[in-house]
Chains A and B, each alone.
Chain A
Amino acid sequence: MKPTDDSADADATPTDQETAMTDTETAMTDGGTDDPMTDGGTVDSPFEVVSEYEETRMDRYSKYYDAYVRAPFAIIWRDWRARIGFTIVLFYLLMGTVGVAIVDPAQALDGDSFIQPFNANYTIQPWGIPEFSLGFWTYTGIWEFPFGTDRMGRDLFAQIVNSTQSILKMITAGALFAVGTGTIIGAVAGYRGGWTDTVLSSITDVFINLPGFPLVMVLALLLDVTNPYLIGILLSVAAWGGIARAIRSQVLTLRQENFVESARAMGVPRRRIVFKDIVPHLMPYVVINMTNTARRVIFEAAALYYLGILPYEDLNWGVTLNNAQSYGAYYRNEALHWFLAPMFAIIGISIGLILLGQSLDRVFNPRVRARHEKTTVDEEGDLGGESDSGGIMGD
């Protein structure tokens, strides 16, 4: 290979990278490797050696799978919080998909009014399994109304199961919207700097400054939405500001890193740098924020339904709370479970999300991880140095 070829390669635009590489390869095989360069060296530099095996698409996918799915999951799974959190969230997902198919929507006069929860007098025998006895325990069927019924005899269990789907839709839409918008705006503002940053940061700051919940209330009143996806977006309309600000400040440090500088020097387009080089580094943070936003959406949605501000078609957790309150379940003992059932549904998914978020934090936060690895782990020896400082931490 001649030195002139070399300079031609260097001039090649980054989009031609791959072609340039193959050129080099052919040049090397054609011209041999003994041609001296002007400085007396040979072209046998390690920078020009190309792997003899080409990475296939499958290889790449399996590598991605390993790095982004299997490894984090394996780490998460070691943590009890994650196991519980995952199980809970999965349970709600099943409730929103399979559960809806199994449990019919609640109807008035499903049963008598105010049947207490776990009432053994109301049972059904699914699939015709007859009564049988196992020593001291007799099977008589399962509860017909596990959570009891409300004033109109509507099955509370059915109410809760059937509202899961719309709540999950709200969560998904809200979390994706807030985190997506926040990440894009934060990353672009942080990376570009200058005027773009000033403008985007100002918009972000306005949204951070806005009191989110009252804004959502005013908008909900004005816009009159019933589609769960739109409600989710509406609820998180003011939630992306904080995420954008945090992402921006992280990008500000990331953009000083060597790999970003190299990419910039190579002339990689700005959009590619931001979304292929920088954003993947922020994924942990993004994922954690996803669970937080999801919780926020649930809280706000239930609160708005509870206050009766959002219009509704079907019963959901918040509406059930509202109904219970307007009946006076505060002081009527027979109606107490009317209040408690939706509360447990809300708290349950919230615990699931919070545990999941925490364990994700554990996975992605190297400092926290290091402290925990040392007690449980062996295979990640490179973290050993960190654990030295464990002595003074009071354990």
Chain B
Amino acid sequence: MAQIDWRIRRLGQGVFTILAVLTLSFVMIRMMPGNPMGAMVENLRAQGINPVRARELVRIRLATDPTKPIVPAYFEYMVNFFQGELGYSTFYQMPVSQKLAEVMPWTLFVLSWGVFISFFTGMAVGALMAYWEGSKLDVGFTTFAILMGSIPFYVLAILMLIFTSYRWGWFPTGGKVRAGVDPGMNWPFIASMVRHATLPIMSYLVASGIASLGMRGNSIRVLGEDYLRVARLRGLSDVTISSQYVARNAVLPLYTTLLISIGEMFGGSVVLEQVFQYRGLGFTFYQALNQRDYALMMGGFALITIVTVFALLLADLTYGYIDPRARGGKDEAY
């Protein structure tokens, strides 16, 4: 019973977060001093567009009706959002939802590979470091990981762009695919896509440094356990011990880190895609900010929030299955 309650509460928190962001977005568009809706109404009036037409334009662009009082307008805004009506992007001249749907897959593509590769590298390296703690390998990789953790991912991205793309010409200098390639399931397109995505994906490798240090710490903790001594006494090989005994237990806390970092990486994609001119969700969000395209900006923000909330929800809901010890009871109140 308590379990079901907890899950429903957790789900409720997720929904609440999304609603909070939407409310923020509504407040921002309508009620902040110098809000975009007022500015747009003024602007259209100044252009001499007749009020009915102007009202209609604002309604389409910002997904809120300027003549309605706050409360009904708020509910209308919410309902519109969940029906996929996020307004009209003035900068891209297309509905926000359409624009977001168009760029989202590209970001997901880069992000999922970035997360996947960096975490697997990090875990493998971290486990090795812990196993040979104090050795040259450990010291070397720890130094490397600290260095990776100290470099902001966008700085690494700029450095890679400067050298591997502009100086040495290994990778394209920006964009998603080479111009003039037919989109679809053909080899040139996929090859070009992968080549363009390589650098953005590599930039996420800074996360591997942090993951490896986390893994190293966890593994060292696990390595102190008695059952490992028993395993060693039974004559099990190093490989078996490290993969079956150490890794499994040490990975557990990292699982949450992984899903949490998805949210952070989404945030990071704003900078990264700007560096690589990779026209994904982050790039679009940045354009919206820069062009004061409020509907697109808040739509993008809401989308990033939803994905983050979903990732975290998944982390919390599944963690109990992965680590049964985490299923705790409720504590009494003092």
Contact = CB atoms under 8 A, between A and B. Distances in A.
Interface of A: 191-197, 202, 205-206, 208-215, 217-218, 221-222, 242, 252, 255, 264, 270, 295, 298-299, 302-303, 306-309, 321, 325, 329-331, 336, 339, 343, 346-347, 350-351, 354-355, 358, 361, 367-368, 371, 375, 386, 389, 391-395
B334 A350 contact: no
Contacts of A303: 152, 154, 271
A209 B13 contact: yes
A224 to B, nearest CB: 10
A38 B66 CA distance: 83
B267 A213 contact: yes
B32 interface: yes
Contact of A395 (B28, B133, B161, B332): B133
A210 B271 contact: no
A346 B289 contact: no
A330 B162 contact: yes
Contact of A218 (B213, B220, B289): B289
A218 B238 CA distance: 51
Contacts of A386: 224
A331 B149 CA distance: 26
A248 to B, nearest CB: 11
Interface stretch (B92-100, B106-114, B301-309): B301-309
A205 B13 contact: yes
B84 interface: no
Given A193-B334, A206-B17, A206-B20, A350 B152 contact: yes
A245 to B, nearest CB: 11
Contact of B308 (A210, A298, A307, A368): A210
15 contacts: A193-B332, A202-B16, A208-B260, A210-B305, A211-B308, A213-B267, A218-B28, A218-B298, A307-B286, A308-B290, A330-B161, A350-B152, A354-B150, A368-B220, A394-B223
B221 interface: yes
A339 B267 CA distance: 23
Nearest to B165: A330
- Name the residue among B14, B32, B221, B331 with the largest chain A CB count within 10 angstroms: B331
B155 A347 contact: yes
B331 A193 contact: yes
B333 A351 contact: no
A329 B167 CA distance: 12
A197 B232 CA distance: 44
A371 B220 contact: yes
A392 B223 contact: yes
Interface of B: 13-14, 16-17, 20-21, 28, 32, 131-135, 146-147, 149-152, 154-155, 158-159, 161-162, 166, 173, 213, 217, 220-221, 223-224, 226, 228-229, 232, 238, 260, 263-264, 266-268, 270-271, 274, 285-286, 289-290, 297-298, 300-301, 304-305, 308-309, 312, 331-334
Top 10 nearest A-B pairs (CB, nearest first) are A194-B333, A213-B267, A193-B333, A350-B150, A209-B17, A351-B150, A331-B166, A299-B152, A392-B229, A205-B13
A303 B156 CA distance: 12
Contacts of A299: 152
A194 B17 CA distance: 21
Classify the interface of chain A: helix, strand, loop or mixed: helix
A211 B267 contact: yes
Given A192-B333, A218-B301, A371-B220, A206 B232 contact: no
A164 to B, nearest CB: 17
B301 A214 contact: yes
A391 B150 CA distance: 33
B220 to A, nearest CB: 7
Given A307-B271, A343-B158, A367-B220, A209 B305 contact: yes
Given A191-B334, A195-B333, A206-B17, A215 B232 contact: no
A215 B149 CA distance: 23
Contacts of A252: 331
A206 B13 contact: yes
B166 A330 contact: yes
Contact of B32 (A212, A222, A355): A222
Contact of A213 (B134, B158, B264): B264
A298 B211 CA distance: 20
A350 B267 contact: no
Contacts of A206: 13, 16-17, 20
Nearest to A365: B217
A389 B286 CA distance: 53
A192 B25 CA distance: 33
Nearest to B297: A218
Contacts of A347: 150-152, 155
Contact of A343 (B13, B146, B159, B286): B159
A195 B173 CA distance: 54
A302 B150 CA distance: 13
A217 B289 contact: yes
Contact of B271 (A209, A211, A306, A394): A306
Given A346-B152, A395-B133, A214 B285 contact: yes
Contacts of A308: 290
B268 A213 contact: yes
A365 to B, nearest CB: 8
A302 B203 CA distance: 17
Nearest to A196: B333
Contacts of B16: 202, 206
A272 to B, nearest CB: 14
A343 B267 CA distance: 20
A213 B281 CA distance: 14
A283 B155 CA distance: 32
A339 B162 contact: yes
